[in-house]
Structures are given as structure tokens and as C-alpha cells.
Amino acid sequence: MSNLRTLLDRVYFVGGVMGGLSMIAILILICAQMIARWMGLSFPGAANYAGYCMAGSIFFALAYALNHGAHIRVTLLLSGLGKSRKIAEIWCFGFSAALLTFFCYAAFERNLQSYIFNFRSQGQDNMALWIPELSMTIGSAILAIALWDHLVRLVFTDHVGIEDLPPEERTE
């Protein structure tokens, strides 16, 4: 079981790293576009590529952010529930895991359609849209896995598994 935990934590970490690298790519693209303008050159599609990287920075980092307590949680409400807190957290994790699983399925279907029908960007880059859509599909899949992981962990161990929570907000 600890090998699975280590593997999942590594997957979440890699997602966070990919999100960070996407943010660095945005910086590089913006700087390259500025330099190209100063030199009188054109960098077609730079704004589109930066947008694709923005989506990647968001979706890839979602599970890592969840693991480190960076998502908005209604801790004031949960703290006031007392003994009912575990039931409320199970409901929240269960609902969000089911919702994200559906979203992940829909993202995969969209990605597959973009590939099959060769959907292209309407911008100057004319990029095949299935490529940047992969970040949404992969990122949502990692987040869905993380939510199911935390739900199972909460049900069987009474611990949410989210780091960096103050001791009074943990369900241990």
C-alpha cells in the first residue's frame, strides 16, 4: 500500500512540475514575442501558445495543489460540524470525485474528437487542437485520481491526506 501511495504522490508531484514548467514556458513565450517585436520580426501564434501553456499550468497543477492544501476548502463550516465533519468531507470528496471523473471522461471524448476530425486552431499557428487539449485531459485525470485517493484514504484511515493543514483542521 505504501508503494501505491509513493507512486501517486510522485504522479501528483510530476503534475505540479509540469504546471510550473508551463508557467515558465508562458514567460519564455512572452519574452520571445517582445524581443521579436523590438527587432521588427513576427512571432505568429505566440499568444495562442501562451494560452495553451496557461491551460497546462492550471490543469497539471490541480492535484499537486490539492495535496498541499492550496485549494479553497470550507474549513470554517467543516470545523463547526464537530462529529459530523467526516460525513461532510466524505460527501464532498465523493461528489467532487464523481464530478471530476465525468469531466475527465468528457475531456477525453473532446480530445479524441479533436484528433479524429483534425480540429485546428483558428489563430495564426493553425495547430492541431488535440495537442494542447491533452493538458486538460491529463490534468483532470490526475485530479480525479487524487480525489478518489483522498476519498478512499478518508473512509479507511480517517485522514484526508492533505498536507499543510493546521492540526485543528485535520480529521485524524
| pLDDT tens sequence across 75-93 | 677 778 888 888 888 998 9
Distance between CA 91 and CA 133 in Å, rounded? 30
Domain ranges of the chain: 2-169
Q: What is the pLDDT of residues 105-162, one digit of tens each?
A: 999 999 999 999 999 998 888 899 999 999 999 999 999 999 999 999 999 987 777 7
More confident residue, 16 or 69: 16
Which 3-state string (H, E, C) describes 67-119? Answer: HCCCCCCCHHHHHHCHHHHHHHHHHHHHHHHHHHHHHHHHHHHHHHHHHHCCC
When the pLDDT of each residue in the chain is averaged and rounded to a whole number, the result is 89
Residue 171's pLDDT is 45
